[in-house]
Amino acid sequence: MLLIVGNYLLKVSKEELVAVLAQFNPWWRDESIADLPSWRRAAFRELQVWLTNPPAPRAVLLSGARQIGKTTLLLQAVDLLLTERVPPANILYATFDHPILKLAGIDAVMDAWREREPRAEGPEYLLLDEAQFIRDWGTWVKHSVDFHKDRRIAFTGSAMPLAEADQESGVGRWHTIRLTTLSFYEYLQIKRLQLPELPQVRSLRELFEWTPSDFYRTTELASAYVGHFHEYLLRGGFPQTAQVESITQAQRLLREDIIDKVLKRDMTALFGVRRVLDLEHTFLYLCMHDGGLLDMPNLCGNLEVKRPTAQHFISLLEATHLIYRLPPYGYGKEVLRARFKIYLADAAIAPAVMLKGKTLLEDATALGVATETAVFKHLFARYYSQNVRFSYWRGKRDHEVDLVADVGGELIPFEVKYRAQHTGARELKGLIELCASKRIERSYVVTKSLDDFGPLLKLPQKLSSGGQAPSKVMRVPAPLLCYWMGASELPSTSI
């Protein structure tokens, strides 16, 4: 096989390609997969359904940032298929991050697979890692889904959503499972911590039915979780950093092995970014303003970049799953003219980039921002697949509400008040104003103290504007909300 790269002629022999594939597919030799964790992420259940009993003839795209466990999910899926007696010869795992496979291309990989392992009876299972390095990956997946009905394909990508040209041709050809970093619940599981068992909550709506004794008992149980929640904010929700003993080492790994590789390698290899330093400065600016409104004139002025360049960089950072953009609540021109809110993909990214170490815990403002970022990620991860629309709200009096979830037309606001003082109506002017103007019946305040937990009882019956106050406001400590939102075995269709 001859490949021309620049002015060089490269040759990848069939034998070399087969040897690489054999290393990645030990089951062809009747060997088990080494170092495979028994614990599975919440997304595994959905991946399992699409591989073993697909609801529709589609491929599956696992989309998410680097180092969040996409490869492990694919290999756990292989292990499940082998357990269910799928012939090993009918299972292919290939990572196109590998230089030989990247050079050879998908067609050569398929030929080498079948030369090494003749096909057995039954469907073929293709698990393709870092598929963004496959040339014309969207066309290839589309062709496979349309013309090879006996193939079941799962593929991963760290920067897939940017490929807009391929998205149109891929409509109806693949189902996307979007992975976030580990939830707080998953973080506790991967660290194998022995903690008191908390009551199950499938929907936050259930809390309005609790008795005072339910809140008191849960508060006592949850005390063991607070320290681990703060450590989770420092370490981050990446499996690798979660298991490193030193928080300083975890933050270094996060900064060097995850962020730097995206900014310095993926951005140049996939998107041709040449002004890497300007991109880094843009990302640093967003880290300094995590959870805040994006002020484009200020960003461009401080970094001395033109607005189109800055907008392009922000789109790239979103496409590589390092940031989220949250629009303001509303429709039409009022949204187009307003500013977006920026959240980092994980609460630990900003402390790692800013070299804060454990000092985050001593900075009340920074800790509140990190908590708000974590709360948004947990709500997004739990409900994005149900087409819940998230936004923030800002009223005419500049009162704000951090998050607003639109669930089939029902608006459910969340306000994060992560501070030592207990939360009362005086601190919730924005929340009360929004609920009154939109006639919202229930809302949630995310708090810090475990005893700042339960329904907020003292609310004004009527507002100065003449509107009605919300009938239900529930205060939920952040560690509990993040735990319940991440508990994978407790599916729910409502917030």
Question: Which of 26-35, 347-356, 362-371, 465-474 has the lowest average pLDDT?
Answer: 465-474
**Rounded Cα distance, 158 and 357, in Å:** 27
Evaluate if pTM is beyond 0.75.
Answer: yes
What CATH fold (topology level) applies to the domain 2-179? Rossmann fold (3.40.50)
Q: Report pLDDT for 2.
A: 47
- For the chain, the domains span 2-179, 186-486
**Rounded Cα distance, 200 and 137, in Å:** 42
Strand boundaries in 159-272, DSSP class E: 174-178
Q: How many CB atoms sit inside 10 A of residue 295's CB?
A: 13
Helix%, strand%, coil% for the chain, nearest 5 = 50, 15, 35
Residue 306 CB-density burial (10 A; 0-12 exposed, 13-18 middle, 19+ buried): exposed
**Rounded Cα distance, 454 and 432, in Å:** 17
- pLDDT of residue 127 exceeding 80: yes
179-238 pLDDT, tens digit per residue, is 999 999 999 999 988 999 999 998 999 999 999 999 999 999 999 999 999 999 999 999
Question: Which of 153-167, 367-381, 391-405, 418-432 has the lowest average pLDDT?
Answer: 153-167
